[in-house]
Chains A and B, each alone.
Chain A
Amino acid sequence: MRKLLVPACAAALVATATDARAQAPAESATEAQGFGERASTIFSVESVFGYLTQSYDPNNGGGGLSFTHSGFFPTGFMGTRIGLHHVLPSGVTLGGLFGFAYESGTGPDSSDLTAFNLGPRVGYAGALPKAKMLGYWARVGPSFQLIHVGNSRSSNSTDIWALDLSLEAFFVWTPVEHFGVLAGPSFDIGIAGNASSGNTSEGFKYASSGINAGLVFDF
């Protein structure tokens, strides 16, 4: 019995050690793969910190609205956004960005504001061959935003929509598995937009430019 047990246990130990060694290169291989190669899903939190200037310019050339922000968590209708992307084996990414905010005042004559934005994106992600911790991610796609401003005491409301083309190019640093920091420039080129309030309606375009940083988690 002992003669059988000892070789069996020894074989088990060898098998376990072999399994551990086999697993180690597999994990190393995963770590050796860079951004855009090591995972199939990317969850991103973007525009956490940086510089962003946004403008809503009427088509008739009149005075519009613009705001510039630097620092954490940009204010405005297109603030910090959440992204979810799928990575194809080729490095092409398909996904989008999403933002939603609702604010209402607590006073008796207060207004409420609803802002929604959606930005489908196609991109390409990869890592530098000789420095897998350093990656890149270029994306393009439309951005659509919808804004509603109402008032609790009147039926007057303003509805705004805007469509623009977004271009983004990020540098991605992935110091550990599943986590990275992205930073880079982004541009929005206005295509169309409209603001309507009551019987009045006015066309405008939304544009933005900036350099922003965020976090990415890839699984």
Chain B
Amino acid sequence: VRTRSIFAVFALVAPLFVGASARAQETLPFSERAKNVIALDNLGGFAHTSSSVEGSQATGTNNIGLFPLAPLVSRFGYHRFLEGGLSIGGSLIYSHESLNLGGLTPGGTTTFGIAPRIGYAIPAGTSTAFWLRAGFAYLHGSSDNSDSGFWQLAPGAEAYVVLTPFSHFGITIGPFVEYGAVGKQSSCTTAFINPGGGQSVCTARDLHMFFVGLGVGVLADF
């Protein structure tokens, strides 16, 4: 009778555990269901960018939609979740572009940067989470045919809502900000001192680039 009772209890409870386990696999929240995240941050939305160079009037732009005209705002990143919702990772920035206008080629520019981030994800249900990240970005730009360029170190942060309607897929929506705390822009001209050749004369000025907006992106986690 005792054996039958134990078996009866086991038989009654086991299906519940099997079902619960299956449901848990299906309904694990973001940051718990996968460790690796590939993120395309700020593909679109609204972005305000401004650039302030010492001795010059600040310039700025507002962008709405996708961001092909504000490429420094969109970021490709990789993040890894550790225990407890903590994430470490960052974004990589690289582009080289050259323009030819009416047969004139002013030269190309190369932009490189890294934006390490430490983050924390807070589940708010099975398919919604908050993902807060902070860190800094280092940006470096250079010109192909002169010594002109810039660099900047900018603290930044994002506060995304992550929607995960399907496994391995998510949508990120939320504000982002990055402010250039320190940076320099160097403008160079070639001075012809003698007929034999020229000498590059550069002037370095303080640079502060500022990015802020509401971004929409996608991610894949696995």
Contact = CB atoms under 8 A, between A and B. Distances in A.
A, B assembled together = yes
Interface of A: 2, 5-6, 9-10, 12-13, 15-17, 20, 23, 45, 48-49, 62-82, 99-107, 113, 115, 175-179, 215, 217, 219
A6 B166 contact: no
A13 B11 contact: yes
Given A16-B14, A63-B103, A73-B74, A45 B43 contact: yes
Given A5-B8, A13-B15, 15 more contacts: A16-B14, A45-B218, A67-B99, A67-B100, A73-B76, A75-B95, A76-B68, A79-B67, A79-B69, A80-B67, A99-B65, A102-B65, A104-B61, A176-B167, A217-B166
Contacts of B15: 12-13, 15-16
Contacts of A113: 69
Given A13-B11, A68-B97, A72-B95, A215 B40 contact: yes
Contacts of A175: 222
Contacts of A106: 48, 50, 59-62
A178 B169 contact: yes
* Chain B, interface SS category: strand
B55 interface: no
Contacts of B222: 175-176, 179
Interface in B163-222: 166-169, 218, 220, 222
B86 to A, nearest CB: 23
B125 interface: no
B92 interface: yes
Q: In the complex, which of the residues B22, B38, B43 has the most CB atoms of chain A within 10 Å of its own CB atom?
A: B43
A17 B18 contact: yes
B18 A103 contact: no
Contact of B68 (A13, A23, A73): A73
Interface string B30-73: 00000000101001000010100000010111111111111100
B145 interface: no
A70 B102 contact: no
Interface of B: 1, 4-5, 7-8, 11-12, 14-15, 18-19, 22, 38, 40, 43, 48, 50, 57, 59-71, 74, 76, 92-104, 108, 111, 166-169, 218, 220, 222
A49 B76 contact: yes
Contacts of A15: 15
A17 B220 CA distance: 32
Given A80-B66, A177-B167, A2 B4 contact: yes
B95 A71 contact: yes
A33 to B, nearest CB: 15
A5 B14 CA distance: 14
A215 B97 contact: no
Contacts of A9: 7-8, 11-12
Nearest to A12: B15
